[in-house]
Amino acid sequence: MQLIKNERASKIIFIAGILFCLLPFVDPPIALLLGILLSQVNGLPFARHHAKLVKILLQISVVGLGFGMNLFEAAKAGKEGFLFTIATIALTFLVGIFLGRLFKIDKKIAYLISTGTAICGGSAIAAVSPVIGAKPEQISVSLGTVFILNSVALLIFPFIGHLFDLSQPQFGLWAAIAIHDTSSVVGAAAKYGTEALQIATTVKLERALWIIPLSFITAWAFRNKNSKINIPYFIFFFVGAMALNTFLPQFHSTGQIILLIARKGLTVTLFLIGSGLTAATLKAVGIKPLLLGIILWVLISVCSLLVILASA
């Protein structure tokens, strides 16, 4: 229920929330949660421009993330885990689509949760959501589910790794496959060891490249029967950003600044998305999307761990 009725005060609080998200210690999960909480008492100022702003900022942020990737490193990353990556992505999507229909979850929400679980969490959802024309509340539910599980994984994966006596290469591969976001993958692997961090990062880079073919497949799958496929042109800019980062060493310092801005842009985007998740929307969504995310996450975590242990 909205408690702040004054329109001017509501707008000031909303803008203050955005500025708060620009602070260095505010990460995406905090921004999303802040947006959700603020929407319950502050409503949604600038509602007329909200959806368009979210879409544009998402695309810009995704392009900016490309300045943190190297084409050659990504191409060489995780060679031994290539087939493993394909298998886990396919399994996640098949099960996700099946469970989405079984639980009668909104088609786009189920697809976004499956995408985030299969590839690279928030970045994949951010890349695919404008392609399928997802609404802010659909994006928010999907990102919220992924980020909750990311936070849990960051805390428990190193403990589980030591519990099963995983080597650093084993843990690095497992983290890259089973943890959604690159940031959480790096965080968990860094706690485990230097070698685990190196392997986890390279495998995750390879996995993140699947955003590109997935976006084209998604554009085709979600097209209207009476219209042409809308090509996600911003993906080309994403590839261009990686190319600049790879072939122009003199651009690295500038690229790192752009990358930092892009990460903050994604954080602000999540605040905006969260702010659109009103009490009425939360009530309508229910627990099913979260249940879907948990099942997919547990499935991919357990299956990948068993395969890694069996191949030791």
Give the model's pLDDT for residue 227. Answer: 40
Question: Residue 133 belongs to what domain range?
Answer: 52-272+284-310
Give the model's pLDDT for residue 191. Answer: 79
The packing angle between helices 82-102 and 107-118, to 10°, is 160
Q: Sort 242 into a burial class: Cβ within 10 Å, 0-12 / 13-18 / 19+.
A: buried
Residue 4 belongs to a domain: no
Residue 151 belongs to a domain: yes
Contacts 24+ apart (CB under 8 A), 44-49: 44/275, 44/276, 44/278, 45/7, 45/10, 45/11, 45/14, 46/11, 46/14
Residue 113 belongs to a domain: yes
Report the candidate in 31, 13, 10 with the shortest Cα–Cα distance to residue 22: 31
Contact predicate 177/304, CB 8 Å? yes
Q: Sort 270 into a burial class: Cβ within 10 Å, 0-12 / 13-18 / 19+.
A: buried
Neighbours of 195 (CB within 10 A): 14
Contacts 24+ apart (CB under 8 A), 3-7: 3/41, 3/42, 4/41, 4/42, 4/43, 7/45
Residue 245 belongs to a domain: yes
Using 50, 70 and 90 to split pLDDT, how confident is the model at 207?
Answer: confident
Give the model confidence (pLDDT) of 232-289 as tens digits: 577 678 778 888 988 988 888 888 899 889 888 878 887 887 787 666 655 655 688 8
The Cα 175–Cα 305 span in angstroms is 9
Q: How many domains does the chain have?
A: 1
User: Is pLDDT of 228 > 50?
Assistant: no
Higher pLDDT among residues 78 and 142, named by residue: 142
User: Is pLDDT of 59 > 60?
Assistant: yes
Neighbours of 42 (CB within 10 A): 21
Contact predicate 26/20, CB 8 Å? yes
Give the model's pLDDT for residue 312. Answer: 67
DSSP 8-state assignment for residue 1: -
Would you state the structure tokens that stand for residue 228, as one six-digit string? 């042409």
Q: Which residue has the tokens 């919220």?
A: 144
Residue 5 belongs to a domain: no
Give the model's pLDDT for residue 145. Answer: 84
Residue 30 belongs to a domain: no
The Cα 60–Cα 66 span in angstroms is 10
Give the model's pLDDT for residue 296. Answer: 94
Residue 7 belongs to a domain: no
Residue 277 belongs to a domain: no
Q: Determine what percent of the chain is predicted with pLDDT higher than 90.
A: 19
